[in-house]
Amino acid sequence: MGTIYGFSAKTLDGQDKSLADFSGQVLLIVNVASKCGFTPQYTGLEALYRKLAPRGFSILGFPCNQFGSQEPGDASEIAKFCSTSYEVTFPMFAKVDVDGASAHPLYGFLKGEQKGLLGTEAVKWNFTKFLIDRSGHVTARFAPTTTPAALESDIVKLL
């Protein structure tokens, strides 16, 4: 079983960021979108982040425009939306594809480690969540309909 630490991604402000920088933390990796029916989950995600970050938890947000074109903005528009609409303070990354030939390599890894419903790999919609333990292993995958609050006990078990 591999880890996420061999991957890097551009942050929302364009900087290369190694996921090894998050070594030792429990992580929730989420593909997000500003114009999705699940967008209000930003509130719950931020609440989880603020509550559990002191214990070694972080959320990594990856904007994605592959589902219903629900993340049409550029990096500055996404950053403004997240900060003004939901006061997001957890790390946000540049827009990525999560499915198909142009999918970010991290998402290829995540999907291979934790299959979806009936063994499928494809991410079905925005706000699919992957839980990562302190060693960088993918331990669970959650559907977009799973609320951030419903994940708290699973996260706390890994902290």
The catalytically annotated residue of 26, 27, 32, 36 is: 36
Concerning whether 82 is annotated as a catalytic residue, the answer is: no
Cβ-in-10-Å burial (0-12, 13-18, 19+) of 100 comes to exposed
Q: What is the DSSP letter of 97?
A: B
Beta bridge partners of 32: 63
**Residue 42 contacts residue 32 (beta carbons within 8 Å):** yes
* Site of tokens 């991410």: 123
In angstroms, how far is CA 41 from the centroid of its own chain?
A: 12
Q: CA 82 to CA 41: how far, in whole Å?
A: 12
3-class DSSP state of 133 = coil
**Residue 7 contacts residue 132 (beta carbons within 8 Å):** no
Active site residues: 36
